[in-house]
């Protein structure tokens, strides 16, 4: 029988790509999503790509009784927790909304896993935990910085909750936190991808919507940083590569190859790319010109952050493979396709 993996937030951007990779690796995926920041069409996209209808329950992970029914009904020994809010600016304006949703959903899940004897959990963390790091690239031992937004704080707090619950339940709970850098791009089929609601906060959806004529002009937030071209440096990771990191990490837990009960891995490419480089890369990958101007710095942005990926490479046996140009092509193909759906 196929092994089940519960994927909360599995209709969302990273969750849907991970559902595809898990299915293609032979797992049975059970998706829970409440469509608070995702679209039903992504379930159809998963089905079209894999040829398998994903098992799906519409529920809010903060609703413990609804989640209990998922545990009663489905067989799985592992879970991946994507379900969370992620808009940095909104979290500053509505902190309680972020703390309640991001933390309560995770605590519910962990408690139910213990209650029902389900052992393995992957948590979606973020490079945001490193803040403005003094030494680059960042390793997993780079000290975390105090969060600059409630969103960032929920990532740090959830990491700590997982660490402490694993420590208190030896043999019953094993966890891995994956610290994502900047996920971009879409599945090569262009059947699933990122679907921001309203004005995008993140760079690549803003670029693709500008190219599509939905936004008039991209603002590049600052060209006076202490970097080679003055714009910020980030580690942009293809979402399919990122999804595959989940498949290897869940396999590590299932096959008990983990070295500690709680582990942390950076999931990035190890390659810093500036905002200008990304914009020009997008233009040449897709053979088009983008309307952009330089605007003042955005509050809260760090100058540069990119990953030391040695641990993920050596311990997980995983590395990012897709070329940036292909990733930027996939982002545009998705943008062109999504309006037709």
Distance between CA 247 and CA 251 in Å, rounded? 6
- Burial code of 86-116, b = ≥16 C-beta within 10 A, e = fewer? bbbebbeeeeeebbebbbebbebbbebbeee
How many residues in the shown chain lie near ligand UFG by CB under 6 A? 20
Q: By rule CB under 6 A, what string of x and - marks binding of each residue 172-201 to ligand UFG?
A: ---------xx------------------x
Report the relative pairing of strands 273-274 and 233-234 from DSSP bridges: antiparallel
Host H or E run for residue 220: strand 218-221
Residue 105 or 182 having the CB closest to ligand UFG = 182
Q: Write the CB contacts of 77 (distance below 8 Å, at least 6 apart in sequence).
A: 3, 4, 118, 119, 120, 254
Least CB distance to ligand UFG at residue 328 (A): 13
Q: Considering only CA atoms, which of 56, 172, 46 is closest in space to residue 115?
A: 172
Least CB distance to ligand UFG at residue 200 (A): 7
Least CB distance to ligand UFG at residue 329 (A): 18
Q: Write the CB contacts of 51 (distance below 8 Å, at least 6 apart in sequence).
A: none
Q: Which stretch binds ligand UFG (CB under 6 A): 33-41, 125-133, 135-143, 265-273?
A: 125-133
Binding ligand UFG by CB under 6 A: which of 127, 133, 173, 273?
A: 127
Distance between CA 135 and CA 145 in Å, rounded? 12
Host H or E run for residue 183: strand 182-184
Q: Is residue 151 annotated as part of the catalytic site, yes or no?
A: yes
Q: By rule CB under 6 A, what string of x and - marks binding of each residue 282-311 to ligand UFG?
A: ----------------x--x---x------
**Residues 193, 338: contact at Cβ < 8 Å?**
yes
Distance between CA 173 and CA 205 in Å, rounded? 37
Q: Which stretch binds ligand UFG (CB under 6 A): 161-169, 170-178, 217-225, 257-265?
A: 217-225
DSSP 8-state secondary structure symbol assigned to residue 187: -
Q: By rule CB under 6 A, what string of x and - marks binding of each residue 70-109 to ligand UFG?
A: ----------------x-----------------------
Binding ligand UFG by CB under 6 A: which of 166, 220, 239, 243?
A: 220
Binding ligand UFG by CB under 6 A: which of 202, 209, 227, 261?
A: 202
Residue 139 or 219 having the CB closest to ligand UFG = 219
Residue 32 or 279 having the CB closest to ligand UFG = 279
Say what angle helices 275-286 and 324-338 make with each other, to 10 degrees: 70
149 is a contact residue toward ligand UFG (CB under 6 A): no
Distance between CA 170 and CA 94 in Å, rounded? 36
20 is a contact residue toward ligand UFG (CB under 6 A): no
Catalytic residues: 151
Give the footprint of ligand UFG on this chain (CB under 6 A). 86, 126-128, 181-182, 201-203, 206, 218-221, 232, 234, 275, 298, 301, 305
């Amino acid at each position: 029988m196929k092994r089940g993996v519960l994927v909360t937030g599995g209709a969302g951007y990273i969750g849907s790509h991970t559902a595809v990779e898990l299915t293609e690796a032979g797992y049975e995926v059970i998706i829970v999503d409440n469509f608070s920041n995702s679209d039903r069409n992504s379930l159809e996209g998963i089905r079209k790509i894999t040829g398998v209808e994903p098992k799906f329950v519409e529920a809010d992970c903060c609703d413990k009784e609804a989640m209990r029914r998922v545990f009663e009904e489905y067989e799985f020994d592992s879970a991946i927790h994507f379900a969370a809010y992620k808009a940095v600016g909104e979290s500053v304006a509505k902190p309680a909304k972020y703390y309640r949703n991001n933390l309560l959903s995770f605590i519910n899940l962990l408690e139910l896993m213990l209650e029902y004897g389900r052992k393995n959990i992957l948590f979606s963390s973020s490079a945001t935990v490193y803040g403005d790091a003094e030494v680059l690239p960042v390793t997993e031992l780079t000290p975390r910085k105090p969060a600059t937004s409630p969103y960032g704080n929920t990532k740090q707090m959830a990491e700590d909750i997982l660490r402490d619950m694993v420590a208190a339940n030896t043999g019953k709970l094993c966890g891995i936190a994956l610290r994502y850098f900047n996920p971009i791009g879409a599945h090569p089929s262009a059947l699933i991808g990122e679907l921001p609601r309203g004005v995008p906060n993140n760079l690549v959806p803003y670029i693709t919507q500008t190219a599509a004529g939905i936004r008039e002009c991209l603002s590049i937030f600052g060209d006076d940083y202490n970097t080679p071209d003055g714009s910020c440096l980030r580690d942009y990771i293809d979402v399919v590569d990122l999804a595959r990191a989940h498949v290897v990490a869940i396999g590590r837990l299932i096959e008990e190859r983990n070295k500690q009960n709680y582990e942390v891995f950076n999931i990035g490419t190890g390659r810093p790319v500036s905002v200008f480089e990304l914009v020009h890369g997008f233009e040449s990958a897709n053979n088009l010109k983008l309307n952009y101007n330089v605007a003042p710095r955005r509050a809260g942005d760090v100058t540069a952050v990119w990953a030391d990926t040695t641990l993920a490479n050596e311990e997980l046996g995983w590395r990012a493979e897709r070329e940036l140009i292909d990733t930027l092509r996939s982002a545009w193909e998705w943008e062109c396709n999504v309006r037709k759906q």
